[in-house]
A and B are shown apart, each in its own frame.
Chain A
């Protein structure tokens, strides 16, 4: 069975601070895919990034960066110089080839960025 753990329920930071959201996953599959989604207060789910299990290269996109470490089964997400618009719930999700492609979500981390 697959499992995604986001231990941080809620994080509050002041604008311009850097913040890292943790994600730890469990799976027995050797091929799998990891995702991050953002859910702003308006409620929609916005896809942020996908990472394959065989590609451990870290990725940076603007103020966002992702650190994938297979050795620790972690796929952490860092926002640099946070902004109020980053306030949202962030979900990490796992998808394996053996589970008909359904996503297994973590319980999310609520990020509150204040002025």
Chain B
């Protein structure tokens, strides 16, 4: 059964870098045909996709965050990671990792997030 688990500091100071890791079990990132994504959720902004990465290291990002985000993958550890630079209080959120599934449905490629990790709360505060 595929499972994802986020880990990382729960408290980050303003202007510093938020770093999280997602450990995947039950599937191999290196042999998967799917992408792997990061999302976050706040009461004010709701659910927001941050970016996704393929096992090759090819990543794409939400344009609203792209200037501050880097997502990387370590296939030897079956992990992928998020770095968000220059954080402010607005980056306080529950952060989730998820498999970004790409499939053909009725002959057309489409995608969705499944499954999700349990999430980790990150607070930005001095």
Q: Is B one of A's binding partners?
A: no
Q: Which residues of A contact B (CB under 8 A)?
A: none
